[in-house]
Amino acid sequence: MNFYEILGVTPDSDPAEIKSAYRRLARKYHPDVNPSGAKKFKEISRAYDTLSDESKRKQYDILNGFFKSAGSKASSAAESPKPKQEKTKTSKDKKSENKSTDDKNFSQFFGSIFENTAKSKKTEKNMPQNGENITTDVTITLQEAVKGTSRTINVVHSELCPRCRGRKFINGAKCNVCSGSGEYSQHKRITVKIPAGVKNGSKLRIKGEGAEGRFGGKNGDLFLNIHVESNKRVKYDGADILCNVPITPFEAVLGGEISIKTFDGSVKLKLPAGTSSGQKFRLSGQGLKKNGKTGDMIVTVTIEIPKHLSDDEIKLYEKLKKLSAHDIRENLLNE
């Protein structure tokens, strides 16, 4: 909706009509009388802020195509390019002359905008102010980091108070919407997609979701500082997943297929007989999908002793000890 529609008036409405439309709507939606009207009230106030100010309204009209010729410089310049272009087609000689006229009109056209802007700056200090960036921390699990996730972020925007428009006082009394602070806090929920493979400590930028710019200034950006919960066994490097997988002594000796749980289900790894701790195995295509490529899973195995061994198992280990004739530390100093 444009500002005229918001106030229920037309681009032809005069200042008095706009003022009475604003008053009528403001009474209806003022947060004091209508707790659910805050958003609407803000819209109305913003529209009125522009349409009640002659120079702001003119700029708004020019930029949004509502401007009607009323003999002003801006309108005649804005409407003139078409016929002049036709002329230049038919007569080369007049080209330079027409060009200079166009330039003149062009500068008049923009001149009037800048003049108005400069004037309003002086009178109301309405300099465009860019909104500030907002930074927030987000902690995700390793699984979320690997697979990608989304988070709904509650951002508190501090905006210019819609009632007093930052002036803090109205007719000498403290503004009752912002309690005289001139600011108005608004909660906004933003759902942000966190891409798969995001690194711990990385910063995501969501453009334009920071604090609101004022008087035509740009909005700030929202930055998310990503913290990935650490996992003792699993890490990733680019598109590769690095994991440390425990194996039992008998799996190490006998080899065979083991099953490794992944975030997607499980993968099988064939251990050769006589596998040692620290040996690495590459499972190609089991890594992250990133930038059109799929990484690998690099498994480092570690022989670990099961915590609760039964008496029978202990007996078997004792038997193994007796049977073992080979001294594994024989060449300790020669290797």
- For position 161 contacting Zn ion by CB under 5 A, the verdict is yes
Query: Minimum distance between the CB of residue 297 and Zn ion, rounded to whole angstroms?
Result: 58
Q: Which stretch binds Zn ion (CB under 5 A): 84-92, 153-161, 245-253, 283-291?
A: 153-161
CB 228 within 8 A of CB 142: yes
Among all chains, which residue has been given the structure tokens 């064939």? 270
Pure H helices in the chain: 3-7, 15-29, 38-51, 54-64, 73-79, 81-90, 95-124, 142-147, 249-254, 311-323
| Binder among 142, 178, 271, 299 for Zn ion (CB under 5 A) | 178
Residues 6+ apart with CB under 8 A from 39: none
Identity of the residue, 140 or 177, whose beta carbon is nearer to Zn ion in the bound complex: 177
d(CA 158, CA 165): 12
Of the candidate spans 44-52, 75-83, 178-186, 259-267, the one that interacts with Zn ion by CB under 5 A turns out to be 178-186
**Do 241 and 295 contact (CB within 8 A), yes or no?**
yes
Q: State the minimum distance, in angstroms, from the CB of residue 183 to Zn ion.
A: 8
Token look-up 């009509």 returns 17
Q: CB nearer to Zn ion: give 42 or 58.
A: 42
Q: Which is nearer to Zn ion, 145 or 161 (CB)?
A: 161
Closest CA to 126 of 215, 60, 50: 215
| Residue among 78 and 211 whose Cβ is closer to Zn ion | 211
- Find where tokens 């992250």 sit: 288
Q: Does 163 bind Zn ion (CB under 5 A)?
A: yes
Tokens of 37: 């009207």
Q: Are 322 and 274 in contact (CB under 8 A)?
A: no
Query: Could you tell me which stretch among 111-119, 164-172, 203-211, 238-246 binds Zn ion (CB under 5 A)?
Result: 164-172
- Tell me the site size for Zn ion, rule CB under 5 A: 6
Which C-beta is closer to Zn ion: that of 109 or that of 184? 184
Region binding Zn ion by CB under 5 A among candidate stretches 77-85, 170-178, 234-242, 249-257: 170-178
Tokens of 208: 């334009």
Q: At what angle do helices 54-64 and 38-51 cross, to 10 degrees?
A: 100
Instruction: Return the residue matching tokens 């992944």.
Output: 262
**Could you give the CA distance from residue 80 to residue 72 in angstroms, rounded to a whole number?**
12
* Contact pick of 26, 164, 258, 301 for Zn ion (by CB under 5 A): 164
State which of residues 177, 194, 288, 298 lies at the interface with Zn ion (CB under 5 A). 177
Is 42 a binding residue for Zn ion by CB under 5 A? The answer is: no
Q: Does 26 bind Zn ion (CB under 5 A)?
A: no
Binding map of Zn ion across residues 241-280, x = CB under 5 A, - = no contact? ----------------------------------------
Query: Which positions touch Zn ion (CB under 5 A)?
Result: 161, 163-164, 175, 177-178
